[in-house]
Amino acid sequence: MRRLIEIPCDGETLVATLDEAPGETGMLIVSGGNELRCGAHRGMALLAQTLAQRGVPVLRYDRRGIGDSSGINAGFESGAADMAAAAAALRASGVAHIVGFGNCDAASALALFHAQAGLDAVVLSNPWIGGSDDALPQAAAIRARYAERLRNPREWLRLLRGGVNLRKLAGGLMKVARAPDESGLAGRMAAALRPSAVPVTILLAAQDNTAVAFANAWAKLPDRPNAPLEMRASASHSYAGDGDFEWLRDQLLRAVR
C-alpha cells in the first residue's frame, strides 16, 4: 500500500510517500537537486513501487522548500535534519534497518549526513562533487572524452578536414587548464564515511559526466573508504536508458539483502 505522510522537521513539515511492505529492512530514497520525490521521469516512484512489490518498504520525501514540503530550500548541504527526520519516520513504521539511496547531490548528502540519520548502509549513485557554471561538462569529463577521441584515428581526420568546432574545442581546453581541485567535496564525503564504517556501494553510469568527474576525484583520494564500485554502461544520469532501470533495481535489492 502507498500512502502519504507528513513528517515534522525543525518547525516545518516534510511531505513523504511511504510504500509499505513486510520487510524489516527498508530503503530511504533521498531526492537530488531540486527534484521532487517522484524523481526524473517518475523514476523514483516506479523504483519504490517495484521494491515494495519485492518486500522492501520505501520512503521518499521532499526536502524542506521542495515540492509539497514547507520551509526554505537551502540546497543539499542543508538536508541533514530532513534526512534524519525521514529516517525516524521510516523506523516508526516498523522498519528495523535502513539503506539510504540517492543520485547526484542526494548521494553526496547521504555520504555527508548518513551518520546523523542513523542509516545502516548507503548506496551512492553518480555522486556530485561540484558544479559547472557554464554549458560545458566538468573538467574531468572533458579530459576523459578528449582522451578517448585522441585514440580514434577518425577524430584526427575530422580535425584535419575541419569537422571539429574549434571554438568549442578551445573552450574545453581552457576549462581543463583552469579547473580547480575537484577533490574537495569528494574528500569530505570520504572523511564522513570512514569513521561510520557503514557498508557503502557506489553506482556509476559510465558515460555520465557527473559520474566521470566523481570517479576521477575519488580515485585520487589516498584514504578513501573501500567501497565496491558498480558500473553501468550508460550515459543516462537518471538511468533512463534501455535496461538501466532493471540494473538499478537489482543493485538496490542486493544492497538491501
Tens digit of each residue's pLDDT, the chain (257 residues): 999 999 999 999 999 999 999 999 999 999 988 999 999 889 999 999 999 999 999 999 999 999 999 999 999 999 999 999 999 999 999 999 999 999 999 999 999 999 999 999 999 999 999 865 445 455 555 555 555 666 777 766 676 666 666 566 555 555 444 444 446 999 999 999 998 889 999 999 999 999 999 999 999 999 899 899 999 999 999 999 999 999 999 999 999 98
pTM for the structure as a whole:
0.81
| Domains of the chain, first to last | 2-130+182-256 (3.40.50.1820), 139-177 (no CATH)
Model pLDDT for residues 166-224, shown as the tens digit of each residue: 566 555 555 444 444 446 999 999 999 998 889 999 999 999 999 999 999 999 999 89
CA-closest candidate to residue 106, choices 88, 84, 79, 133: 79
In the sheet where 12-19 sits, what is the strand order? 2-9, 12-19, 58-61, 25-30, 97-103, 121-125, 200-205, 229-232
- β-bridge mates for residue 200, sequence order: 122
What gap in Å lies between CA 17 and CA 61, rounded to an integer?
6
Residue found by looking up cell 527534484 in the block = 35
Grid-cell match 548518513, residue found: 114
Please name which of 96, 161, 107 lies closest in space to residue 129, comparing C-alpha atoms.
107
For 141, the grid coordinates are 569529463
- N-term to C-term CA, the chain: 21
CA distances from 54 to 57, 156, 183, 211 (A): 9, 50, 38, 28
Distance CA 182, CA 224 (A): 15
